[in-house]
Chains A and B, each alone.
Chain A
Amino acid sequence: MVLSVRQRIADIARAEPDRTALVGFGTDLAEQVLSWREFADRVADTADTLRAALGRSTRSCAVLPAGNTLPAAIGIAAALAAEVPVFPLNPGTPPAERDALLRLLGRRFTHGYLMDAQLRPRRMDLPAASEGPGKFSTVAYLLATGASTGIPKISARPGPLRYDPVQTASPVIRQAGWRTGQRQLIVGPLYHAAPFTAFIDALLDSNTVVLQPFFAPQWTVELVRRYAIEWLQLTPAHMREILRQSDLDPTGFASLRAMLHTAARCDADTKRGWIGLLGPERVYELYGATEGIGVTLVRGDEWLVRPGTVGRGFLTQIRILDDAGHAVPPGTTGTVFMRTPQRVGRSDYVNGQAIRTTLDGFATVGDHGRLDRDGYLYLEPRDHDTINVGGEKVDPDEVEAALRDHPAVVDAVAVAVPHQTLGSVVGVHVVLRPGTSVRRAELAAHCGRRLAGYKIPKHFTFVDQVPRSAAGKIQRWRLAPYHENGASPP
């Protein structure tokens, strides 16, 4: 039976009042535990407060600074229960980006209700859009996307959200080892699409959720072991850092039914490392844009047969189209279009430029790739990330993976550096392991043993850290630009 969020939470709390709903950690890192009864009571109170604050306004949304804390989790659940559209905001968003996001919200809503740490709503006027609010449709939640390009976008999930025993969690997540009532660790931040949706599915599917407030690899490993975590979602950046632990013990992951990774492309070494750690049957990868136009899924054993694939469409039809919009045969690269039952209409976007659609309902976020004869999808690097060296295309992921293979290198990011004759060459920002040093020439030689000549970085800059979004995607636009004369940034 299909139920409202409020009803579903109340039902779980009535059936299993004393089972743990949430485990969080305060600012002193002390463990905080809420039973389902306590959680349901606090959600109901907060939902009532929010509803009362909004009055009859239908053009308001809740804005929630969403670190991985118990108040944020309660606030999200309360807004969904009150059927008030909720926007989880990165608490660390710089003011300029925050203003840009609020302007995007202003295209759809007249007021935002900012929830503070005590979950008291405070009304704020949203900047009125010049064109006035667009066509109105009910929204369950809104998520910021585009973290890897630096141009903020917001995608809206039509609402209200409902619990449907057949579709919560979605069939694709169930295929990836998810079970009702499981113990789940949430590592990524709640203001990102994948952890956010995993959290609301967990909520409706009566999980016990452990919220890790910030990522530290040894802590993630410890939480998995201490709480006998059964299901876990990570980004490739998390996966890499966890593999770097010197005393990694596979038996500490014995409770885990599945690890699912999403969000960014995973390099082959990291993938193989996790397949080695958990065995191929417990490693799943999902590719699917935040916009929900379709998903692919691949399990470790399939990946070992076809290294590099992101899998086959799951309840999703995939078509590769050329620039003229014609379908291309297997093996040929083009733009990846997908079609799925949970089709999103054109009006479901606060920022209408997010996707392109075909007349028959296929949609793309602009990724390029190819299918093999058996329907497995392989992605090419995104156009705006590809480095063009005198007409040769260089995939920055490949350069970065080669550098990370060096024992002194912790992290690396490759970017295009303007060059007078070639147009651009490869430059890299490199983070070294603390206490080590390495000469640029040695790193270049290391790359030369792994990469074709034009892919070898010509400029090296040593930095303390690489800017990454909390989802683990490199934020290339945050890097200081290289200059025409090849000088490194100051």
Chain B
Amino acid sequence: MVTLPEISEVLSAHPGVRRAETAIVRHDGRDVAIAAAEFSEYVSGPILRNYVWRELGDDSGLAGVVIVEDMPMADGAVDVEYLASAVAEGRCTLFEDPGDDVERRVAAIWSAQMDVGSVGVNDDFLELGGDSLSALGIIAAIETEFGRSLDVYEFMSAASVRRLAEILR
């Protein structure tokens, strides 16, 4: 089992991160592991989450990463209240597996076109590292798979597997 300090240590070694702390946060009636990362170069939560998963395995238990300017501290430890509010306000994308077949097919297309191992249904396309090449690739693959053409604007405003699946259903 991976420990919270191990997650923090791996995150701190990422070139875009100065410092990281991990804590357990109560959200939606369950306990989730959330990390806060002080960034030095712009880097997104989903990219850091996938980085940890690659280093420690996708069963490492890390659900999401909050990007912070300065580490929020309370009583000498990372401020759990701050992390909980970041999750509640949607400032921290939590990983979620596809819920049905359409989401699964869209996520598989994203994963193949973007060369990303883990795609959560709420992950934002740009935060997951998408670029114009993968955007055009996904739009073309969706047209082949679902027989529906999307324009670039529709795709970019949907921006997540879940909202894209809603359009395609």
Tell me if B135 is interfacial: C-beta within 8 Å of chain A.
yes
Q: Given A317-B159, A343-B42, A375-B157, are A359 and B68 also a contact pair (CB < 8 Å)?
A: yes
Name which residue of chain A comes closest to B159, CB basis: A317
Q: Is the CB of A315 within 8 A of B42?
A: no
Of the candidates B45, B68, B135, B156, the one having the most CB atoms from chain A within 10 angstroms of its own CB is B156
User: Do B152 and A341 touch across chains, with their CB atoms under 8 A apart?
Assistant: no
User: Which among A314, A346, A360 is the interface contact of B152 at CB below 8 angstroms?
Assistant: A314
Contact: A315 with B133, CB < 8 Å? Answer: no
Partner of A360 from B44, B130, B131, B136 at Cβ < 8 Å = B44
A340 close to B41 (CB less than 8 A):
no
Q: Would you call A357 and B42 a contact (CB within 8 A)?
A: yes
Binding site secondary structure of chain A: loop
CA distance A130 to B68 in the complex (A): 30
Q: Which residues of B contact A396 (CB under 8 A)?
A: none
The number of chain B residues with a CB under 8 A from chain A is: 22
Q: Could you tell me the distance between the alpha carbons of A345 and B16 in the complex, rounded to whole angstroms?
A: 11
Contacts of B68 in A (CB 8 A): 359
A375 to B154, CA, bound (A): 10
Q: Which residues of B contact A166 (CB under 8 A)?
A: 132-133, 136
Minimum CB–CB distance from A442 to chain B (whole Å) comes to 47
Interface of B is mostly: mixed
Task: Say whether B126 contacts A317, CB under 8 Å.
Answer: yes
Are A342 and B132 in touch, CB under 8 angstroms?
yes
- Contact string against B for A residues 348-359, beta-carbon threshold 8 Å, 1 for contact and 0 otherwise: 000000000101
A312 vs B41: C-alpha distance when bound (angstroms):
28
Contacting A346 at CB < 8 Å: which of B42, B67, B133? B42
Residue in A closest to B134 when the chains form the complex, CB atoms: A341
Using an 8 Å CB-CB cutoff, how does the interface string of B67-83 with A read, 1 for contact, 0 for none?
A: 11100000000000000
Please determine whether B42 and A341 come into contact, CB atoms closer than 8 angstroms: no
Give the residues in chain B near A357, CB-CB below 8 Å: 42
| A238 smallest CB distance to B (angstroms) | 28
A192 at the binding interface (Cβ < 8 Å): no
Interface status of B58 (Cβ within 8 A of chain A)? no
- Indicate if the CB atoms of A317 and B156 lie closer than 8 Å: yes
- A330 near B: Cβ within 8 Å? no
B69 surroundings in chain A (CB, below 8 A) = 359
Q: A171 touching B41 by the CB < 8 A rule?
A: no
Interchain Cβ contacts under 8 Å between A and B, 25 examples: A166-B132, A166-B133, A167-B133, A170-B132, A171-B132, A171-B136, A312-B153, A313-B153, A313-B156, A315-B132, A315-B152, A317-B159, A341-B130, A341-B131, A341-B132, A343-B42, A345-B42, A346-B42, A357-B42, A359-B39, A360-B45, A360-B91, A361-B126, A361-B127, A375-B153
A-B residue pairs, 3 tightest by C-beta: A341-B131, A359-B67, A312-B153
B contacts, CB < 8 Å to A: 39, 41-42, 44-45, 67-69, 91, 126-127, 130-133, 135-136, 152-153, 156-157, 159
